[in-house]
Amino acid sequence: MGMTMTQKILAHAAGLDKVVAGQLIEANLDLVLGNDITSPVAIKEMDKMKVNGVFDKDKIALVPDHFVPNKDIKSAEHCKCVREFARRNEITNYFEVGEMGIEHALLPERGLTVAGDVIIGADSHTCTYGALGAFSTGVGSTDMAAGMATGKAWFKVPSAIKFILTGKPSKWVSGKDVILHIIGMIGVDGALYKSMEFVGDGIANLSMDDRFTIANMAIEAGGKNGIFPVDALAEQYMKEHSTRKYTIYEADEDAVYDETYTIDLSTLRPTVAFPHLPENTHTIDEIHEMDDIVIDQVVIGSCTNGRLDDLRCAAEILKGRKVKKGIRCIVIPATQKIYLQAMEEGLLRTFIEAGAVVSTPTCGPCLGGYMGILAEGERCVSTTNRNFVGRMGHVTSEIYLASPAVAAASAITGKISCPCEL
């Protein structure tokens, strides 16, 4: 019986020739990540441990990104705690405001995540780096603390679901539509405890940014990780962004999967997840059959969809058009580098001229932190990843998850819309 991509990476990290689903292993970690919400709890736990500092100051990444620039005094205290810990332990990869970005966009851009790595992060969307052929998964603060202290973590080796992607997505269909379609199909616990392995010749038609978006939302199907094979495009990305050596793992031909789904990307349509679960998906065609869904706000950004492809797509739609009067459109480039590139390409001008507001990188509104909180009963079309009750503000507010294309088009019309309608 062969191994999946994930199982091969975990076997290697545990120093074993072979692992099977369900086996408990202890793996060496290549990177341990935390942010300004989860790290203070981890630091407090680590202080209680009888250890002398961190296992490797180069293999820890601390990225204050959720409530920065500090939104209030309490957040400022949290960030101060992380900053002082980073200084005390001489953490190489601590990213201050000014050099930071949303963690899951920032780390690949900085070359800190490459194929074959085993990465844990005290943030559920740590699964993003599977786009590069790494095993990466979200954990809590105590696991982060133990990881920082020992450089190891225990895992139950996951079984896997295989998604064979074929064909080429049509003009306004992106990685977001692919993953929303999949979550709609298998449900928010459809991949609980499992790996989601994406394969097939359709992957060649997905940009790296599309793949980051897809891997990012594996957790919204309950997945332990999402992972892509490493092709020429992924190798090119790693060579451009990293000096680290990477290792490519391929699934064995006789690897065992719990389930296999085949998805023809050319048949997918722009897809929107309705409140209050990412599995409540409807295609744009189904939405056209409904009464207009009038909105109050649009958010384009986050670790899911704040990358350059996303901003380019939104700008293409907003160029020469106006955000509808009375609608707030908030655009958040995910990193400083993306922000700068968007400026140089003139995307920021397009957004501002259209009547959108452009923010410094932050997770802010995605989790109802700040920079776009919803009032009672308000509706938002958002390129973020969760539409749970109260996620972006008031408990009666509503979030519709969509691609940057649908979000930008909706900002113009004031209701959930496809760019093809403009």
Partner 1 sequence: MKNAIGTVFKFGDNVDTDVIIPARYLNSSDPAELATHCMEDIDKDFVKNVKKGDIIVATKNFGCGSSREHAPIAIKAAGVSCVIAETFARIFYRNSINIGLPIVECPEAAKGIDAGDQVEVNFDTGVITNLTKGTTFQGQAFPEFMQKIIAAEGLVNYINAK
Q: Which of 381, 365, 374, 383 is nearest to 71 (CA)?
A: 365
What is the secondary structure of 379-406 as a DSSP string? EEEESSS---TTTTBSTT-EEEE--HHH
Alpha helices in 298-403 (DSSP H): 302-305, 308-318, 336-344, 347-354
Q: How far is the CB of 379 from partner 1 (least distance, A)?
A: 17
Cβ neighbours of residue 51 under 8 Å, at least 6 residues apart? 149, 150
Q: How far is the CB of 180 from partner 1 (least distance, A)?
A: 16
Where does this chain touch partner 1 (CB under 8 A) — which range of 83-91, 188-196, 284-292, 311-319?
188-196
The residue among 126 and 336 lying less far from partner 1, judged by its C-beta, is 126
The residue among 219 and 358 lying less far from partner 1, judged by its C-beta, is 219
The residue count of the chain comes to 422
Query: For partner 1, what does the binding mask look like between residues 22 and 41, x meaning CB under 8 A?
Result: ---------------xx-xx
Burial string for 186-224 (b: 16+ CB within 10 Å, else e) reads bebebbeebbbbbbbebbeebebbbbbbbbbbbbbbbbb
Are residues 235 and 264 in contact, defined by beta-carbon separation less than 8 angstroms?
Answer: no
The residue among 306 and 419 lying less far from partner 1, judged by its C-beta, is 306
Q: Choose which of 4, 75, 383, 417 interacts with partner 1 (CB under 8 A).
A: 75
Backbone angles phi, psi at 120, to 5 degrees: -115, 145
Q: Which of 422, 402, 271 is nearest to 354 (CA)?
A: 422
Using the rule CB under 8 A, is 142 a contact of partner 1? yes
Q: Choose which of 26, 99, 189, 240 interacts with partner 1 (CB under 8 A).
A: 189
Query: For partner 1, what does the binding mask look like between residues 207 and 236, x meaning CB under 8 A?
Result: ------------x--x-x------------
Name 197's bridge partners.
162, 227
Name 101's bridge partners.
335
Using the rule CB under 8 A, is 201 a contact of partner 1? no
Task: Give 394: exposed, middle or buried? Use CB within 10 Å, 0-12, 13-18, 19+.
Answer: middle
Using the rule CB under 8 A, is 45 a contact of partner 1? yes
Using the rule CB under 8 A, is 263 a contact of partner 1? no
Q: How far is the CB of 220 from partner 1 (least distance, A)?
A: 8
Q: Choose which of 5, 31, 60, 139 interacts with partner 1 (CB under 8 A).
A: 139
Query: For partner 1, what does the binding mask look like between residues 110 and 129, x meaning CB under 8 A?
Result: ------------xxx-x---
Sign of the CA dihedral with 2 first, then 9, 199, and 224 last: positive
- Count of helix runs (H) and strand runs (E) in the chain: 14, 18
Q: How far is the CB of 55 from partner 1 (least distance, A)?
A: 14
Q: How far is the CB of 342 from partner 1 (least distance, A)?
A: 26
The residue among 48 and 245 lying less far from partner 1, judged by its C-beta, is 48
Task: Give the interface with partner 1 as residue ranges (CB under 8 A).
Answer: 37-38, 40-41, 44-45, 48-50, 66-67, 71-72, 74-75, 78, 122-124, 126, 138-143, 145-146, 188-189, 192-193, 219, 222, 224, 277, 367-369, 386, 388-391, 395
